[in-house]
Structure 1
Amino acid sequence: MTARRLAILWSVAIVVACLVPGQGLPSVQIVSFDKLIHVLLFVGFGLLWMRAAPGVPGRILLTGVVFGIAIEVAQGTLPVHRSADVFDAIADAIGVVIGVGVGRWLFASDSAT
């Protein structure tokens, strides 16, 4: 599987995971666990997109932040029994920053060639 296809598949998986109807989710009492999941999902997003397109970290950062915000808007407006949370969007942005940063370090030689 190409890096681009893997990044696209991960992005689609984020959408599916974040828009699963709320009543189908297990109840988790640890608020920080939810934020950790958001950070990890978007670290994966940043890493995979940096692998697929290492020469455009700024675009990946911007896209990741907008993507996280769009998911929160969708959760708040679609009938999926989920609620929008600004702190989830912040966790998503933190994850993208980490993922892109680590991706720049890991894949630096890819963008130099």
Structure 2
Amino acid sequence: MKYLYTLLVSLLIIIAVLIPGPHLPDVNIVGFDKVVHIGMFGAWAMAVYYDFSIRSTRYLWAMVAGLAFSLFTEIVQIFIEGRTFDWSDMVADAIGLILGLTIGAWMLRKLFRLKD
């Protein structure tokens, strides 16, 4: 199925942001939520990179789509008990997008080199 990884990761992110705050695990590590955001959007970016076979001209569009998705998830959280809109989460998401696209590009180059 085309775009399967992107759809699955997007669905997992949406499910994660819809969990009400009181039901989230209490992790007492400073900045842990930012690491989670970086991981979620890094995984999303790698899935997009793989599913859409991104070339350098599409890299910008993947970033724009990822930032729009990030903004959407932050807006949705306004309506969820115990959750809020947080600009620093969007910064973490952007870092995850950049890392995910970079790692995705590197991984695909390695894979295609191994197949040749």
Question: TM-score of the superposition, structure 1-length normalised?
Answer: 0.85
Distance in 1 of aligned mates of 2:10 and 2:40 = 9
After superposition, what is the alpha-carbon deviation per residue over 1:15-68, rounded to whole angstroms, capped at 9, x for unaligned?
Answer: 110111111112222231110010011110010110001233222111111111
Alignment pair present for 1:75 and 2:73:
no
Following TM superposition, the consecutive aligned residue runs of length 4 or more in structure 1 with deviations greater than 3 angstroms are none
Q: CA deviation at 1:84?
A: 1.3
Deviation at 1:3, TM superposition (A): 6.3
Matched ranges for 1:1-113 at <5 A: 2=1, 4-55=3-54, 56-76=58-78, 78-108=79-109, 109=112
Amino acid at match of 2:61: R
C-alpha contact 1:3 1:48 (8 A) present in aligned 2: no
Deviation at 1:89, TM superposition (A): 0.7
**Whole-Å separation in 1 of the counterparts to 2:80 and 2:45:** 28
Structure-2-length-normalised TM-score: 0.83
Aligned Cα root-mean-square deviation (Å):
1.8
Distance in 2 (CA, whole Å) between partners of 1:79 and 1:12 is 17
| Residues 11 and 65 of structure 1: CA distance in aligned 2, closer, same or farther (over 3 Å) | same
List alignment gaps of at least 5 residues for structure 1: none
Aligned residues: 108
Runs of at least 5 residues in structure 2 that lack an aligned partner in the other structure: none
User: Are the aligned partners of 1:3 and 1:51 in contact in 2 as well (CA < 8 Å)?
Assistant: no
C-alpha separation in 1, matches of 2:105 and 2:53: 7
